[in-house]
Amino acid sequence: MRKRSIPHVELTRRRLLGVGSAMGLVAAGGITFGGKMAHHPASTGNQLVSTASLPGPYTLPLAVPKVLAPISTSGGSDAFEITQQEASAEILPGTRTDLWTYDGTFPGPTIESRRGRPVTVAHRNELPVPTVVHLHGGRTPPQDDGYPTDLVLPEGWSGEPLMPDPQARTTDVTRDYTFPMDQRATMLWYHDHRMDFTAPAIWRGLAGMHIIRDDVEEALDLPRGEQELPLMIGDRSFHADGSLMYPALDPTLREHPGVAEEYSAGVLGDVILVNGIPWPVHEVDAVRHRLRLLNASNARHYELEAITDDGHRLDLVQVGADQGLIGQPVTHESLRLAPAERYDVIVDFAGVPVGSRVRLRNRLGTGGTREVLAFRIARTARDHSHIPEILADDVPRFQRSQATALREFSFRAGQMMHGRGWVIGGKAFEPTRTDVSTSLGAVEVWRFVADVHHPIHLHLVGFRVLSRGGGPPLRQDAGLKDVISLRPGEWVEIITRFEGYRGRYLFHCHNAEHEDMGMMANLEIT
């Protein structure tokens, strides 16, 4: 990481050569891509091939996760309880799959909250390993943000931390996480964030959605009720007996982190799940629907399009990004989602004949990974929704002239203590090292440079995308984000204000295998 004065600087040939060298290091240093990178550059990683009998696409009904009921709504705040537990579910017809779950379901129950009304979630760990809960996208005090070493230990746990951290806040069996909800209405998600084992924990089922609502958004006539669909998209692969495939070096997830070498660039599944259902179908009225899209895959990227069976493409009208409503609607023919990104889009089924079908397809996939979700038009209906020309006037307008620092970070394959992995600025993660120190309220520009695909996530704050490769942002970069998708060899600039709380936070790659293999860094706000 380098800190420098703020004038704009072009990416030089030397830096571009550095990116190229890093990509060469990937090929030469044991981080392999098994040929996938050459043929499908938007899918960094290797795919596991299921041996189970798989259902045909669009034969199983979509499930919408239950909304968790609070145990208390007194004192101006809401309290919830969640038990982390082993459970089994019939994901593939006729077989049972063992999972790690929040409250026995996959995905976990959806939490709904109100802007400005604090939420406390009491988590009880009945799993065989420690856990950590991170509310992704939350403006959360550091003690509740889910730092990877802030473990909730299971009863009787006797293991030693693989990476000692004198600042770690550990608890036995239970922990109360408090989220102030002092932020714009949006869809967040919560997932396990345990040091070295985030990827396999999410793969086994530890993920759920959290929706923040407020009066501003509810005053708009966007689709709601049954016409608002939270959709967690993820990929998995299955053994013949229905159990999950995952190439962990230590299947117990107790002592030895990491995956088999050929999957160290990222683990891809060959079954696309939406809300835990493989390639589901959902009956809809012929009206507008709001699709709240979350890419909860470990490493897979998607480019989604809505297309009828006769080949007619429906518009995806973007109204929201990671951190809430964007200023004005943006219409897309297709929309790319990197791991951990969220987008709210409106799809209008009016004019699609009753009885016909609209498929949400992945243009980056092949075979089964090209299919995602289908909508079957069940009936005509009166549409009470509307997409206004102006969605929000409170999107922060950070200006480059406000920034007091420009920092640059390279995300690439590199050397860790025990072998090859993924590093930021040439350094693998170390919890006791402060990588960036900044002041509360500071506005800064950060420049990220990538070797291969890296979806970069900042904890605590949202940001605006300033530029890609020195040119303008993508149209889908509108609004306030907390994940930015870097494409191979690309450099991107973002701008943010570090506000909310002082303390230790993270920024990291959200390719979960990269994250577990060193691609995280510490941010200290003073």
**Percent of the chain topping pLDDT 90:** 89
Q: What is the pLDDT of residue 205?
A: 98
pLDDT digits (tens, 9 = 90+) for 474-492: 999 999 999 999 999 999 9
Please write the tens of the pLDDT for every residue from 436-472: 999 999 999 999 999 999 999 999 999 999 999 999 9
**Residues 375-392, mean pLDDT to the nearest whole number:** 97
Residue 4, pLDDT score: 45
The C-alpha atoms of residue 512 and residue 505 are separated, in whole angstroms, by 17
DSSP characters over 104-166: TBSSEEEEEEETTS-EEEEEEE-SSS-B-EEEET----GGGS--TT--EEPTT--PPPSS--T
More confident of the two residues 299 and 25: 299
Across the chain, which distance is largest between two alpha carbons, in Å? Answer: 62
**CA–CA separation, 343 and 354 (whole Å):** 27
Scored b (16 or more CB within 10 A) or e, 482-509 reads bbbbbbebbbbbbbbbbebbebbbbbbb
Among 268, 299, 262, 269, which residue's Cα sits nearest to residue 32? Answer: 262
Computed over every residue of the chain, the mean pLDDT equals 92
Q: What is the pLDDT of residue 43?
A: 65
Residue 329 gets which letter from DSSP? E
Question: How far apart (Å, rounded) are the C-alpha atoms in residues 302 and 411?
Answer: 21
- Tokens at residue 82, please? 């969640």
Place of tokens 């982190």: 257
Is residue 420 very low, low, confident or very high in pLDDT (cuts 50, 70, 90)? confident
- The predicted pLDDT at position 9 comes to 36
pLDDT attached to residue 162: 76
pLDDT digits (tens, 9 = 90+) for 181-221: 999 999 999 999 999 999 999 999 999 999 999 999 999 99
Q: What is the mean pLDDT of residues 403-425?
A: 89
- pTM, whole model, 2 decimals? 0.93
Q: Which of 127-141, 176-190, 332-346, 412-426 is predicted least confidently?
A: 412-426
The region of weakest confidence among 32-46, 126-140, 170-184, 350-364 is 32-46
Residues whose CB falls within 8 Å of the CB of residue 132, separated by 6 or more in sequence, listed in order: 146, 147, 148, 149, 150, 151, 152, 192, 193, 194, 195
69 dihedral zone (left: phi>0; alpha: psi -120 to 50; beta): beta
pLDDT at 7 > cutoff 60: no
Task: Give the tens place of pLDDT for each residue, 79-93.
Answer: 999 999 999 999 999
**3 state SS of 39:** helix
The SS3 call for residue 473 is coil
Between CA 298 and CA 234 the distance in angstroms is: 8
Indicate if the pLDDT at residue 12 is higher than 80.
no
pLDDT tens, residue by residue, 110-121: 999 999 999 999
Task: Using pLDDT thresholds of 50, 70 and 90, give the confidence band for residue 160.
Answer: confident
Q: What is the pLDDT of residue 333?
A: 98
The pLDDT score that the predictor gives to residue 19 is: 38
Each residue of 215-251: pLDDT tens digit? 999 999 999 999 999 999 999 999 999 999 999 999 9
- Collapse the DSSP code of 61 into the 3-class scheme (helix H, G, I; strand E, B; otherwise coil) and give the result: strand
With beta carbons less than 8 A apart as the criterion, state whether 247 and 263 touch: yes
Q: 247 forms bridges with which residues in the sheet?
A: none
- Does residue 223 have a cis peptide bond before it, meaning omega lies within 30 degrees of 0? no
- Spatial neighbors of 334 by CB under 8 A, at least 6 apart, are 303, 304, 305, 316, 363
Radius of gyration of the chain (CA): 22
Q: Amino acid identity of 363? A: R
Q: For 22-70, write each residue's pLDDT tens digit.
A: 333 333 233 333 333 333 345 689 999 999 999 999 999 999 999 999 9
Alpha-carbon gap, residue 280 to 298, rounded angstroms: 20
CA distance 509 to 425: 13
CB atoms inside a 10 Å sphere around CB 426: 12
The residue type found at 199 is A
Q: What is the mean pLDDT of residues 174-185?
A: 98
For residue 417, name the pLDDT band (cuts at 50, 70, 90): low
Per-residue pLDDT, 159: 81
